[in-house]
Structures are given as C-alpha cells and as structure tokens.
Structure 1
Amino acid sequence: MGHRKLRRTGVVTIGSFLLLGLMGCLHGTNVNSATAPQPTQPPQQVAMQKPSAVDPKLVTANTKFGFKLFSEVLKQDDKKNVFVSPSSVAIALAMTYNGASGATQQQMAKTLELQGMSLSQLNRANADLKKMLESPDSGVQLTIANSLWARQGTPFKPAFIQRNRDFYGAQITELDFAAPESTATINNWVKEYTRGKISQIVDGLKPDDVMFLVNAIYFKGNWTKAFDPSETANKPFYLSNGRPKSHPTMAQTGSYKYYETNQFQAVSLPYGNERVSMYLFLPKKTSNLSRFTKTLTAENWQQWMGRFRTQPGSVQVPRFKLEYDVALKKALSTLGMSIAFDANKATFDELSSASTKIDQVKHKTFVEVNEEGTEAAAATSIGIVTTSMPTSQPFQMNVDRPFFCAIRDNKTGTVLFMGAIVDPK
C-alpha cells in the first residue's frame, strides 16, 4: 500500500438542506392576492448587532430534538452512512411552527422539545442563534439561509409571512407554481446557498402544492492544524462485517482534547480559532457503532462534552466524501407530530385561511473531509458508561472501523451536523 501523493481538493464543505411542502385544499376560498407575499423581497433582521448569548432553552431543545431525530433516521438507514443537520431541520420546522395552531402546534412543540418557550421566545432565540453562528471565526465559513416560496394568489396570513422574514431572514417569493421555470427557480436558490453542493430538492410542483419553506446551511472549515498530505497512506478500514478495505487515511500527532471510556475513544479536532470542532467517537473493538448509537442521548452528550481534557496523542482518520438524502415524514411522525401530515386533522390556521397540511419533508446533505479541513456528523445513543479511564500515557486513536462524528459550535453548544460513518467512500 505505502504512501501516496494525494491531490488536495481545497473543497471542505457541508451543505444541509430541508424542504417542507405544504399541500393545500382551498375549499373554494376566495383568494385575495393582496395578502400574499410579493416576489423576492429582501430578508430583514430584527436587530443589527450580534447578540452576546443565545437562549439556552433553544440550544437544549435543539440538542434533544437532534438526537431523537438521528436515532429515528438510523432505524431507516442502519446499514449505510447517515449524515444529517439537526439544526437545518429544526430551523425549517420552527418556520412552519409559526403557522400551526391547536393540537398541531402542541404536537410540533413536543416533538421539537419547545415546552416552556413561547412563540415569541422561540423566534427571538432563533434570530439570535443565526447571528451568533454565522462566520464564527476567520478559519470557518458558516452561512444559514432561509426562503419561503408561495403559490401566487393563495391567501397567506401577513403575520406568518412577516415573522419568517423578520426573525428567520427568509427570502419571500411569490411564484406561479404552474410555470415550468418555477421548479428551477427554487432549485437554483438551493444550489446558490449550498455553493453548488446540493443542486436539486424539488422534482416538480403539484397542483395542490401551495408553499415550500427551505433552509440551507453551508459550512467550510480549515483545520486549526492541517494534516500533512505526505502522511496520508492507504490503510485497512474494517467494515461492519469485519471485512477490510484499503482506504486513504490521514495521520498526525499533537495535543488534543480527548476523552475515553471503556466503551469508546473520542477526540475533538478544531477548525480555525477553535470555536467550532469536529468530534470523532470510535467504539472500542469490544463494542460497535450500533451499540454506541443506542447510548446517544442529549443527556449523555452534555456529560461527554464536559469531560474532554487536553493531552498528547496521535490520530488516524479516514478521508471521506459523501452525499445523503432522506425523507423525514416517517421519522417526524414517529416522534409525535403525525397530525401535521394528516389532511383531516392538521391545523395551520396561522399560516393561511386555506386548509393546509405538511406534505413532505426532504433533507439532503453533502460532506467532505480531507487534509485541509473536515465536516462530519455525530449521533447520540442511550446508556454508554461515562466513567473516564486513566490516560497518563499519550493516546493512540486509529479510526479504522465504523464511527460517529459531529460538528459542534463550542460557544453556543449547537450541534450543526452529525453522522454515523460505516464506510468512508
């Protein structure tokens, strides 16, 4: 195998995208175009200055929701790579939550772990979080973009439109959904705000589609300490069935934030000025990724984050690049918001005077990890032993089997991306 001279791609990006299609049954509603949003109105911000803190209730809610969602997605795709952005999903659902009422609102609040937060608190906290996360330091690019695409002539509630514009910075566009170019218009917006990493989310517009709410997240981070390409070599990576495959593996030594239990090793690899990090969790050989993910809970995650300590060591990490997409209707229904998808029960009275329900929730991601930087994702499971093991000697961590990873903003505690990698492509 030996060493190979590897081309440095320079592309270290993660794009995460979620779309919600709201299917409307107009029931003869008198459509008043004056209440509909106007084409391509620029987003506005509630406050210009960057906040000093984010409501911890929102971060806690997003963390709990993120790990619940990840657990459900793993049940759908337990044999392949999974990479999601819980932050992207939470933001898009929060935008939609502004239009919910009654039992629909209550179920969404429970699913999103929003109990104890008023709608105004939620919106303000999301506005603050967006400002704090974007461009966190010189070595990291992080942008969050939202948009709302409305069928021309449908009677939407002005307050719903205004809140999404003011608090989420959403670009509001009224479209003729019957026009052939409308699908391309939405897809081009996604392509632009994910820097070309995700080029299509809408396959076509149906006659009963009335609105799409879209969130796009783009992340590019350079390692604080880049991996030397000359140290990258083809080494065995052992798949879930134990079969080895030869794969380019990066290596370096240094001082890292590290944590180890009798169940796993974990290391934090920072980007830029170390505000944002990738966390890699490698189950011990006596365990496996499936057992580990069963211990991934918000409570365990918070404990683990407080137990990393700086120490010398060496790490070997596989390069990987993958695209992932998943339909989230089943997962979200299982988590408790099935009414929102039910044409007979859904109530989005604050969104429109037309009868509407959520028709589809799509989520797509892209990630590439190389010598210059990395994007990866992590999921939380239930019940891992969190007692630290003695680590007086420099540690060695060889990520040569299925692992979990997450990208976290260390200042706010926000988990931007998480994933279970069973086969680095």
Structure 2
Amino acid sequence: MRIFVFVFLSQALLCAVAFGHKSEEHHDKNADDHVKETSPLQKIVPGNIKFAYSFYTHLAGKYPKDNIFFSPLSVSLLFSMLSVGAKGQTQAQIYETLGFNMSSISEEDINKGFQQLHHFLNQPNSDLVLSSANALFIEQHTKLIEKFSEDLKTFFKSEVIPLDFQKEDEAKNQINSYVEKKTNGKIKDLLKNISPQALLVLVNTIHFKGTWVHAFDETRTHEEDFHVDENTIIKVPMMTIIEKFLLASIQQIGCILVDVPYKGNTSAILILPDEGKLQDVERALQNISLQTWAELMRPMQITLSIPKFSVSTTLDLKSELSQMGIKDVFSSKADLSGITGDPNLTVSEAIHKAVLGVDEKGAEAAGASAAVITKLLAPIKKVTMNRPFLVTLLHKPTYTVLFTGKVMKPESY
C-alpha cells in the first residue's frame, strides 16, 4: 500500500493585554461586512465550534494534568481538505467527527464555507496579523485527479509543490522550511524524518500576531503564587491591569469568563473555574454556546491579573482522532481514491503542534443552554488567574475558534 503522509501544523501566540469592550470602535472593516446567515460560512460555524470543544474535552479527559493548546480550525481545515479526496465511510467519519451533520449541510457548502473563511482570515489588517496557509507536497511523478487538485486550489487556496521523496533529507528540509517561513520562524524542524514511500504531505499553518488594545504596565508585573493543584504551588510573573472588560458569571457550573480584546476584532476569552470546578467546567464546554456567552457578558471595571507565560503542545492526531471516530482513513479501509485514483492509499502520520505566549506588550504565534448562564449580579473587583484556567482565541467577525486550550502549569516566557 502506498503511504499518504499527512502532516498538520498550527501555531499561535497571544500578545499584549488590552482594555476595551466597545467592539464597534475596533471593527476590522474588511472582515466585518457581516456574513449573511444563509452563507456557507455561517453554515459551518456550528460544526466548527462543536468540534473545537469536543476535541478539547477529549484531550482534557486524557491529559487532566497537562497544558493543552491547539487550533481546532487548523485541524478542521486540513481534514476538510483531505475529505475532498475521500469517499464513502472514510469521508463520512471525517465529517461526523468534525461536527458536520451531512443531512443538514452539503459537501459543497462545507468547501465553500472554508473558502469564505480563508478569505476573511487573510484580509489585510494593520491592527492584526492573522493568516492561514495550505500546501500539498506531492511526489514529483504522481498525478492528481484534476477535481481534487482544482478543489484544493479553489476552496482552500492550497499550493501544490512537487518533491522527490526518495531524497529524504532534502524533502524533509523543504517541508520544514515552508512551515518555518509560514509561522515566522516559531516552529522549526517539525518533521524529524520522512519515508521515501511517501506520496503526499498535506500541511496547514495558522499564524496569529495581535496586540492588546491597552498593554499591561510592565512595572506592575510581580512574582506571585500559581496554584497548579492542591499540593503544588509555583512562582509566576503575574501581570495586572485595571480596566473595563466584558465579563460573565456562570454560577451553575462555577466559573467566570473575561473577554480581553485585541485590536482587530479578535479576543482572548479567559475562563477561570471556581476552586475544584475545573473538570465540571470542561465537561460543560460541549453544551454551552459561545454566542450565548457573548450575549450575556456585560462590561465591568475589574482588576485583572494573568500570568506572563508560554505553553506548547504536540499532538499525534492519528491517535487522538482515531479515538474520536476518524478511523478508516488511518487504516487499510481508507478510501482516498479521489486523490490519485489509487484505492490503496492511507494516512500514515498526522501531527499537530501549537505554541502560545502571553506578555505585557505583544508577541506572535505561529487550533447547555442559555439557562445555564446568569448575568453577573454583584461587582467583581478582582479576577486573578492564579490557578488552572482555560483560554480561547476567538475571531469575532466569523465566530471562529482559532485556538483553544488549558493552562495547568505556566511555563516561563
């Protein structure tokens, strides 16, 4: 059986903290021409959000004591690209796991939705660097089915780059150089080796660089305790700012949400579980709508303290997604005949790496019902992220979860 090597990458880094809840003052004028509710992009939003938190819940259950950070968007993009060449049960498993109900959305709408999303994410914006790139590295003598090649170019703006996989080191270096360039040097040497049996390598990158609307004052950053668990306390540089933020309290599951906006209509949604409520909050993520949270958040003057930190995660997607339902594509049962016409293709490797860093000024990065939520009734004067918390980078014009994760133990930055 020929090997279809699938490599996935995304990278992101949070930057300077911002004050500001008045979103009308910080619109991305290009991207904020609101997408019609009936557009393909709006049709894929629910599936993308569902997958983001289903995947998070899966990872949190397996790695309860570890930092988690990934780009659900990048995983969805890459496997949607792969699904263009998949057929039958192989394709059905991919779409179902990605959160798409094929009885209510068509393959064409999914492809067009990602096409529109790619356009929105790659809009020029002086306030924000946000870009997504796709590439297909192909064995130089292999011919793709024309429809597969054209659909990748049309819907995913994918480059097609021929390589000689018999020259293993040279091929590996070319792919790693592409990844390094697209992530502005933040991810190097992604591939440790590559098989000469490889036929294709599919790559996606997401690069995010943003600045807070108002930066933290570096002179207010001081070393403080971070309670990793009941028995572990570490020292972290804690940044502090007094400003007005959008804030919500979810009393039934026990957590506070704070919307810390970047310039350019993207926000970091910080979720601080009450003590002992981390797992309850993680389980509830699958059943609570981000739109509902957004609607019920209210501006409030608070003292916000968050660590200055970085986290990184490398995931074996072959292992993780097999457990979530994408099984056939990684086995001899795979039907990827829509790629080259060869029925004997399988995905041998799937890798995801993401990194995140937070500081005072800015930096860069290379993934229930309304009844559960209540308005915040009493003012909260201080919100301190001094125990494990969750973070989501949300692109508001398209309601896309760019990255999400959990900070269990902040690493130095």
The bucket for the TM-score relative to the shorter chain is 0.7 to 0.9
Range 408-417 or range 349-358, more displaced: 349-358
Whether contact under 8 Å (1:295, 1:384) holds in the other structure is no
CA distance in 2, matches of 1:65, 1:390: 28
Aligned to 1:141: 129
The alignment partner of 1:239 has SS state of strand
Identify which of 390, 393, 396 aligns with 1:407.
Answer: 393
Identify which of 60, 73, 77 aligns with 1:91.
Answer: 77
Alignment of 1:367-382 (within 5 A): 367-373=356-362
Which runs of 5 or more structure 2 residues have no equivalent in the other structure? 7-29
Pairing 1:272–2:258 present: no
Amino acid corresponding to residue 412 of structure 1 in structure 2: T
- TM-score norm. by structure 2 comes to 0.85
Alignment of 1:1-400 (within 5 A): 22=4, 52-53=34-35, 55-114=41-100, 115=102, 116-135=104-123, 137-179=125-167, 180-262=169-251, 263-273=254-264, 275-285=265-275, 287-297=276-286, 299-343=288-332, 345-354=333-342, 355-373=344-362, 386-388=372-374, 390-400=376-386
Count of matched residue pairs? 374
Whether contact under 8 Å (2:212, 2:261) holds in the other structure is yes
Whether contact under 8 Å (1:155, 1:352) holds in the other structure is yes
Whether contact under 8 Å (1:258, 1:308) holds in the other structure is yes
CA distance in 2, matches of 1:166, 1:416: 22
CA distance in 1, matches of 2:180, 2:212: 25
| CA deviations over 1:295-349 (Å, ceiling 9, x no partner) | 1115443422321111211100001112211101122112212111111x11011
Quote the offset at 1:167 in angstroms.
1.5
Runs of 4+ in 1 over 6 A off after TM superposition: 382-385
| CA deviations over 1:245-276 (Å, ceiling 9, x no partner) | 11100001111100012201110000014x10
Q: In proportion to residue count, which structure has more helix?
A: 2
Which runs of 5 or more structure 1 residues have no equivalent in the other structure? 1-20, 25-48
The alignment partner of 1:397 has SS state of strand
Amino acid corresponding to residue 75 of structure 1 in structure 2: G
Whether contact under 8 Å (2:97, 2:324) holds in the other structure is yes
Amino acid corresponding to residue 284 of structure 1 in structure 2: D
The alignment partner of 1:329 has SS state of helix
Quote the offset at 1:356 in angstroms.
0.6
CA distance in 2, matches of 1:82, 1:154: 37
Amino acid corresponding to residue 70 of structure 2 in structure 1: V
Residue identity (%): 27
Quote the offset at 1:146 in angstroms.
0.5
- TM-score norm. by structure 1 comes to 0.83
